[in-house]
């Protein structure tokens, strides 16, 4: 455990909030140490509180690299809203220029910080994979039709009549732990298409184990699935539970999708230091 206060910034990407720490001049702790640190610091009310932690590292193949951890302390390959916040952090701290690249476990992310309606960040992400449409998923006493795609992390998408009247927590948790997606589980998205370019979305996130105000990879999954089923055409605006809008764009080539990008706000919330007491049990 750290013995000195740890400088950090807190950023929010359309309601998804992250603790970001510049760790380029330090050696990464062990996975067990990181899991303990992240799970403690992400607690709301007892510590800083966030949906996840981003560790900025040096990279030999990009402007910088990152490690991303969900609030439960588990490291995952990708978090799209997190990439936008990492890009803003790197730009503001002169780690990278406005247009840059950074290294993730899912591949290289291309990012651009733009002055547009405040500060917006556009990221181009690795191509999605493993799409499966029309899956019958039994959740207790009901069976829903779900659609699966990996957009850097696993996502199931359900079409519903009204996202505000849907049991996001109950259905999301059952989906997250469903045997079809064992052992790693999946995220669950519930969407309502409002017109050919707009979708309302709510997401239950694995690792956070709750609904989040926005999910970038989930928004991408929703846009891709809805396009594959000929319900929307790009660019697609995702209306998140935070009230913020995420824009997803891409090219469709037959049954595959290329040049997937996500644009939205990435705002600096505050800067501070994590004290030892924030990590107490």
Domain enclosing residue 214, as ranges: 129-265
Same domain, 273 and 256: no
- Overall domain count for the chain: 2
Tell me: do 198 and 225 sit in the same domain: yes
Q: Is 123 within the bounds of a domain?
A: no
Q: Using 50, 70 and 90 to split pLDDT, how confident is the model at 22?
A: very high
How long a stretch of residues is the chain? 281
pLDDT of residue 229: 96
- Going by their DSSP bridges, the two strands 99-104 and 64-70 should be labelled as parallel
153 lies in the same domain as 199: yes
Q: pLDDT for 78-129, tens place per residue? A: 999 999 999 999 999 999 999 999 999 999 999 999 988 789 999 999 999 8
Whole-number pLDDT of residue 255: 78
pLDDT band of 2, cuts 50, 70, 90: low
68 located within any domain: yes
Portion of the chain with pLDDT greater than 90, in percent? 94
The answer to whether residues 243 and 133 belong to one domain is yes
> How crowded is residue 250: how many other Cβ atoms within 10 Å of its Cβ?
23
pLDDT surpasses 70 at 1: no
Give residue 210's pLDDT: 97
CA–centroid distance for 35 within its chain: 18
Sequence-ordered list of residues with C-beta below 8 angstroms from that of 216, at least 6 positions apart, any chain: 13, 14, 16, 79, 80, 81, 82, 83, 84, 246, 262, 264
Residue 254 lies in a domain: yes
Are 220 and 189 a contacting pair, CB within 8 Å?
Answer: no
Using one digit for the tens of pLDDT, what is the confidence trace for 187-238? 999 999 999 999 999 999 999 999 999 999 999 999 999 999 999 999 999 9
Is pLDDT at 3 greater than 90 in this prediction? Answer: no
Distance (Å) of CA 224 to CA 22, 54, 258: 33, 26, 10
Catalytic residues: 79, 215
Q: What is the pLDDT of residues 149-173, one digit of tens each?
A: 999 999 999 999 999 999 999 999 9
CATH number of the domain within which 29 lies: 3.10.310.10
């Amino acid at each position: 455990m750290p013995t000195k206060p740890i400088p950090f910034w807190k950023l929010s990407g359309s309601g998804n909030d992250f603790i970001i720490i510049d760790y380029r001049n330090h050696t990464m702790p062990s996975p067990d140490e990181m899991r303990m640190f992240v799970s403690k610091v992400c607690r709301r009310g007892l510590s800083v509180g966030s949906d996840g932690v981003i560790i900025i590292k040096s990279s030999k193949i990009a402007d910088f690299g990152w490690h991303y951890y969900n609030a439960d302390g588990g490291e995952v390959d990708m978090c799209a809203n997190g990439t936008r916040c990492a890009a803003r952090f790197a730009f503001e701290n002169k780690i990278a220029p406005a247009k840059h690249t950074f290294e993730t476990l899912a591949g290289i992310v291309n990012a651009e910080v733009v002055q547009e309606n405040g500060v917006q960040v556009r990221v181009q992400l690795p191509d999605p994979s493993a799409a499966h449409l029309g899956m019958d998923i039994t959740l207790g006493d009901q069976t829903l039709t779900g659609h699966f795609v990996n957009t850097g992390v696993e996502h199931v998408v359900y079409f519903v009549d009204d996202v505000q009247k849907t049991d996001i927590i109950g259905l999301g948790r059952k989906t997250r732990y469903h045997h079809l997606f064992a052992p790693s589980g999946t995220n669950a998205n519930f969407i309502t298409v409002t017109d050919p370019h707009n979708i309302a979305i709510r997401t239950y996130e694995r690792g956070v184990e709750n609904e989040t105000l926005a999910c970038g990879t989930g928004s991408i999954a929703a846009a891709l699935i809805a396009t594959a089923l000929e319900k929307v055409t790009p660019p697609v605006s995702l209306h998140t539970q935070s009230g913020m809008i995420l824009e997803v764009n891409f090219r469709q080539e037959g049954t595959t999708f290329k040049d997937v990008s996500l644009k939205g706000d990435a705002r600096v919330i505050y800067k501070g230091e994590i004290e030892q007491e924030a990590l107490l049990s």
